[in-house]
Amino acid sequence: MATTLIKNGQVISTTGVIAQDVLITDETITALGAPGYFAGVEGNARVVDAAGKYVIPGGIDVHTHMELPFGGTFASDTFETGTRAAAWGGVTTIVDMAVQRYGENVSEGLAQWHRKAEGQCAIDYAFHQIIGGVDEQSLKDLKYLTEHEGVTSFKLFMAYPGVFYSDDGQILRAMLAAADCGAVIMMHAENGMAIDVLVQQALARGETDPKYHSYTRPSPLEAEATHRAIVLSHIAGNVPLYLVHMSAGDAPNEVAAAHHHGRNVFAETCPQYLWLTLEETLAKPGFEGAKWVASPPIRSKDHDPHFIGQMGHGHQGDLWKGLRMNELAVVSTDHCPFCMKDQKELGLGNFAAIPNGIGGVEHRMELIYQGVVAGELSLQRWVETCSTTPARMFGMYPKKGVIAPGSDADVVVWDPNTKTKIGIDDKHHMNMDHSSWEGWVIDGKVDTVLSRGAVVIENDQYTGRKGHGQYVRRGLSQYLV
Ligand code: DUC
Ligand code: ZN
Ligand code: ZN
């Protein structure tokens, strides 16, 4: 029996910050006590001194795409490299998106994802299932996965016609099937049909640079799709609806309106939408902006240039406010890395052919902590949006997402007294040839990371191992109204 004691730290939960020592036996948290309470076990324990530091539940990133086939290539992180980078970022569980495309079998898609991940992961992992082809069989599979496979959430797309797109009828059918078995529908809410028209028109005008990726996906088309998804979820009997990667400042208002009516509608955003602007990223000269091509796009500082008057205020301020007000309940990354060389370069001369995605699984905890330092969020809300609510939203609580007796010993010791420099020659462990956060200096640092009791990051070293991470069978959402 292995005993670990984390002593002298400030334990952060959703309700506050308390000086507590944390006792761990093997893989499980067994007790919390006043500082010094467990002094008697110190001689026989591995002791982590967290004096002056925060002790938080391990981060949970509920939106990653390891090895996603997309745009003629594959996301460049494998489960091995991606979960190791996640550990470096204080993440102890990811929920990755298994893929089914039109004409493919859902169960086979899930089995393929198990094959990719099994024996590879540094930290624990679970799966959502993308359904890119809604039909009789995939809806039967939705129920089967929910009841038997621990996969209880299903991502649909209102974008990407011809790839992952579902029309409104298919969406409603999937929502009805999910309502029947208690599953959550996750929605990529952008009006893909309208976007395709704007893309074709831009290309016909010779507008091929990366920045046109953002101009052809204006924010009203995200807000409109968000509204439509919410209406359909209401028609489907208040099926739990979770809107992924919200980027448009007016989209959280749709969630607020749904909450006003008591609906099970929730949303996430990602660090890139909270911190980056079109002007500083996609609009860089030449092809460099390709690094930040993702969907939905990184938005303009003030408003969408082609839609002046409809927004009139910055997107980021609205998103931070949405996070405080719980219109945005979760921060994930939508981690979907592609290298510039041979991957993003597929879109040289045609922004529409740039593989969509940004890698960020390593930096979410750091970047949202920076929101705490900037006065946008409280410490409690940082932990809530990055760990506790993700666990509850997707049926993993209290095994994950909380420092409490009986929970998995997924714990991060966070040092608020130092800084982290992000960049390809600084802190960067994802399998990418660039960083979306090159040169950023963040207050605070991941100090020590434990995954089910095993120390995986310590003294600036990775001490984990491939294959330590286990599959987490999830239950139904524990976050419903
Ligand atoms: N958006 C991305 O940017 N990449 C992968 C899938 C998605 O929806
Ligand atoms: Zn998406
Ligand atoms: Zn995604």
The reply to whether ligand 1 has any atom less than 6 angstroms from the CB of 299 is: no
User: pLDDT value at position 481?
Assistant: 87
Average per-residue pLDDT in the chain? 96
Work out the average pLDDT over 216-230: 97
Q: Ligand 1: does its nearest atom lie under 6 Å from the Cβ of 70?
A: yes
pLDDT recorded at residue 302: 76
DSSP string, 372-397: HHTTSS-HHHHHIIIIIHHHHHTT-T
Q: How confident is the model at residue 1 (pLDDT cuts 50, 70, 90)?
A: confident
Ligand 2 centroid, distance to 285 Cα (angstroms): 26
pLDDT above 70 for 308? no
| pLDDT of the residue at 273 | 97
Structural element, H or E, at residue 195: helix 192-204
Q: Is the dihedral of CA 459, 440, 425, 430 positive or negative?
A: positive
All residues at 6 or more sequence positions from 110 whose CB lies less than 8 Å from its CB, including other chains: 98, 100, 127, 129, 145, 149, 151
Query: Rounded mean pLDDT of 434-450?
Result: 98
Determine the Cα–Cα distance for residues 387 and 412; give it in Å rounded to an integer: 11
Sequence-separated (6 or more) residues with CB below 8 Å from residue 309: 303
Q: Which atom of ligand 1 is closest in space to residue 357's alpha carbon?
A: 3
Q: For ligand 1, is residue 295 a contact (CB within 6 Å)?
A: yes
Alpha-carbon distance 392 to 399, whole Å?
Answer: 10
User: According to the model, what pLDDT value does residue 313 have?
Assistant: 55
Cα–ligand 3 centroid distance for 9 (angstroms): 35
Residue nearest to atom 8 of ligand 1 (CA): 295
pTM: 0.97
Q: For residue 159, how far is its CA from the centre of ligand 1 (angstroms)? A: 10
Does residue 438 contact residue 446 with C-beta atoms inside 8 Å?
no
258-279 pLDDT, tens digit each:
999 999 999 999 999 999 999 9
For residues 322 and 331, what is the distance between their CA atoms, to the nearest angstrom? 11
Nearest Cα neighbor of 59 from 85, 26, 81, 20 is 85
Atom 7, ligand 1: which residue's CA is nearest?
A: 295
62 closest CA partner among 393, 328, 367, 327? 393
Which ligand approaches the C-alpha of residue 68 most closely?
1
User: Residue 463, SS3?
Assistant: coil
Q: What is the pLDDT of residues 454-463, one digit of tens each?
A: 999 999 999 9
What pLDDT was estimated at residue 303? 58
Is 118 within 8 Å of 471 (Cβ atoms)? yes
In the predicted model, what is the mean pLDDT of residues 95-120?
97
- Please count the CA atoms within 13 angstroms of the CA of 263 that sit on its side-chain side: 28
Question: Which of the listed residues 101, 166, 191, 245 should we mutate to test ligand 1's pocket, taking the one with most ligand atoms within 8 A of CB?
Answer: 245
Stretch 432-460: mean pLDDT? 98
Q: Which residue has the tokens 């996301």?
A: 75
**302 DSSP 8-state letter:** S
User: What angle do the packed helices 106-117 and 136-144 form, to 10 degrees?
Assistant: 50
Ligand nearest to the CA of 344: 1
Q: What is the pLDDT of residues 179-201, one digit of tens each?
A: 999 999 999 999 999 999 999 99
- How many CA atoms are closer than 13 Å to the CA of 337, on its beta-carbon side? 27
Per-residue pLDDT at 312 exceeds 60: no
Of the candidates 283, 206, 272, the one whose C-alpha atom is nearest the C-alpha of residue 245 is 272
Distance 180 CA to ligand 2 centre (A): 24
Output the six-digit token pair for 452. Answer: 């089910």
Length of the chain: 481
Instruction: Kindly tell me if the per-residue pLDDT of 314 is higher than 90.
Output: no
414 CB near ligand 1 (under 6 Å): no
Give 25-82 pLDDT, tens digit per residue.
Answer: 999 999 999 999 999 999 999 999 999 999 999 999 999 999 999 999 999 999 999 9
Rounded to 5 degrees, what angle do the CA atoms 89, 95, 97 make? 120
